[in-house]
Amino acid sequence: MKMMELIAPCHFGLEAVLKREILDLGYEISKVEDGRVTFFGDPQAICDANIFLRTAERILLKVGTVRAQTFDELFEGTKALPWEEYIPKDGKFWVTKATSIKSKLFSPTDIQSIMKKAMVERLKTVYAQDWFEESGAAFPVRVTFMKDEALIGIDTSGNSLHKRGYRKLTSKAPITETLAAALIMLTPWNRDRILVDPFCGSGTFPIEAAMMAANIAPGMNREFIAEQWRHLIPKQCWYDALDEAREMVDDQIEVDIQGYDIDGNIVRSARENARLAGVDHLIHFQQRPVSELRHPKKYGFVITNPPYGERIEEKANLPKLYREIGKSFEGLDSWSEYLITAYEDAEKYIGKKADRNRKIYNGMMKTYFYQFLGPRPPRAKRSGE
């Protein structure tokens, strides 16, 4: 099958996690940049990446790059790309999103319009026709300008990959599924260890952890726009990826994953989301404030996304809340605690300095992933020792 270059965007600061995931799938990395990882793959790789990657935002099929400081240069550069290799005569094509950073061309609507015209002109010449009905499969194009160079790709995913299909009910400020998965993967947590989220909200951290523990592929219960690209991706590729995903599932495992929230309605929503994800039997949800966070077992993990005062009236409550978090941590002296927050005084009121602090951009918001590392559990003795 033909080799292609694929682009996997991700949250800024989490490129290394995504790179590891792609390597684990067996594909070769071509480039790692801020907010994306590019890799080589055949049509099967498009299916595998969409179904198995937990931390990518979407998968783009790279068409090419264009250097342009004027709209004439953008038009000619776009027209020179081999669009006919991807878009058939009846294909529906448009530039669905254009972003520009530190570039002369910065108007998204103008970039979109010029590129669409250039694509039409190219395909007119190749297909020897003046009109395109665009009644077939969809080919949404995305372009990112950085310092006057445009990276152009066709979206194979459709809806963002964070939309696993299970989160029908959300809390006030939910963390995305892809970000939650990436943060869990930044910790040494595994399914043999306890995990508690005392601010579980929609249940995203516990659900993503349970899906990892049960080997449930994040994309196995949703659809992708590239499923209609029969001329590029044989249907059998999708069947093979789904068959592999189903064979990997082991949801009869025993795990200790818990989610708490002070709001009973939110807890009920989290339970329903877990049911839709097929992991409700693996998670214990409970209405409980963070001040009552305690656990009799040792060497567990707290991974959470506490409130950080997006509204002015909420900011006044943050010192008290983060003091409560710190006090609860004191009672879990052998545990490791990880929390993501935009609140810059988090360490001050928690009462201790994090062992590690990683800066991560959640959309345009700068957040911090504070990591308070507990001791490792003693290694189990082997027979004869």
Query: Tens-of-pLDDT digits for all 385 residues of the chain?
Result: 689 999 999 999 999 999 999 999 999 999 999 999 999 999 999 999 999 999 999 999 999 999 999 999 999 999 999 999 999 999 999 999 999 999 999 999 999 999 999 999 999 999 999 999 999 999 999 999 999 999 999 999 999 999 999 988 666 667 999 999 999 999 999 999 999 999 999 999 999 999 999 999 999 999 999 999 999 999 999 999 999 999 999 999 999 999 999 999 999 999 999 999 999 999 999 999 999 999 999 999 999 999 987 665 578 899 999 999 999 999 999 999 999 999 999 999 999 999 999 999 887 889 999 999 999 998 866 555 5
pLDDT at res. 316: 86
CA distance 313 to 315: 6
Q: Output DSSP code: residue 197.
A: E
Chain centroid to CA 249: how far? Answer: 20
Burial of 116 by CB count in 10 Å (0-12 exposed, 13-18 middle, 19+ buried)? Answer: middle
CB 42 within 8 A of CB 2: yes
pLDDT at res. 173: 61
Q: Quick one: residue 164, left, alpha or beta (phi over 0 = left, psi -120 to 50 = alpha)?
A: alpha
pLDDT at res. 350: 97
Can you tell me whether residue 310 is helix, strand or coil? coil
pLDDT at res. 167: 87
pLDDT at res. 143: 98
pLDDT at res. 313: 56
pLDDT at res. 312: 55
Q: How many residues does the chain have?
A: 385
Question: Nearest CA to 66 among 38, 98, 29?
Answer: 98
pLDDT at res. 363: 78
Q: Output DSSP code: residue 252.
A: T
